[in-house]
């Protein structure tokens, strides 16, 4: 059966990430989007690894959107009590969605766009030593 989604072209996605005093800006040009059932537009399919498991993601979407779409709700655990945390504000303000991305600790899943081959891991406390 082929791809049930129609293709549109020319979409941009941007994310700004504050890292201490440094501001990183990522702008991704999405070459195509897919319009699937219900009018949902999705970019080109990509593969990311979530805790070592391959997951389909879509260019132009955030790590948080991908994790929610596949049912991965607990993104980190707290340092003292080991309680699970997930997406709370969804706009980069609360820092509850911190994950390890490509070995970099404390990345906000809600404002980080996915990239093909990205490695996303649950963050425990403040990271491996935490």
pLDDT tens-digit readout, 39-62: 777 889 999 999 999 999 999 999
pTM of the full predicted structure?
Answer: 0.71
Residue 34 falls inside a structural domain: yes
pLDDT above 60: residue 130: no
Residue 1 falls inside a structural domain: no
Domain count, the chain: 1
Residue 16 falls inside a structural domain: yes
Residue 21 falls inside a structural domain: yes
State the residue range of the domain holding 114: 6-124
pLDDT tens-digit readout, 12-34: 444 444 444 444 444 444 455 56
pLDDT above 50: residue 107: yes
Task: Please tell me whether residue 114 adopts helix, strand or coil conformation.
Answer: coil
Residue 17 falls inside a structural domain: yes
Residue 69 falls inside a structural domain: yes
Residue 52 falls inside a structural domain: yes
Q: What pLDDT was estimated at residue 120?
A: 97
Q: What is the CATH number of the domain that holds 10?
A: 3.10.20.440
């Amino acid at each position: 059966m082929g791809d049930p989604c129609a293709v549109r072209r020319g979409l941009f996605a941007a994310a700004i990430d504050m890292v201490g005093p440094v501001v990183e800006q990522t702008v991704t040009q999405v070459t195509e989007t897919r319009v699937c059932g219900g009018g949902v537009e999705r970019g080109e399919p990509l593969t990311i690894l979530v805790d070592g498991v391959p997951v389909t993601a879509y260019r132009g979407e955030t790590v948080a959107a991908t994790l929610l779409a596949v049912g991965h709700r607990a993104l980190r655990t707290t340092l003292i009590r080991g309680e699970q945390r997930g997406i709370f504000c969804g706009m980069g303000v609360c820092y509850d969605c911190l994950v390890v991305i490509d070995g970099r600790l404390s990345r906000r899943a809600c404002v980080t766009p996915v990239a093909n081959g990205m490695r996303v891991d649950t963050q425990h406390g403040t990271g491996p030593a935490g």
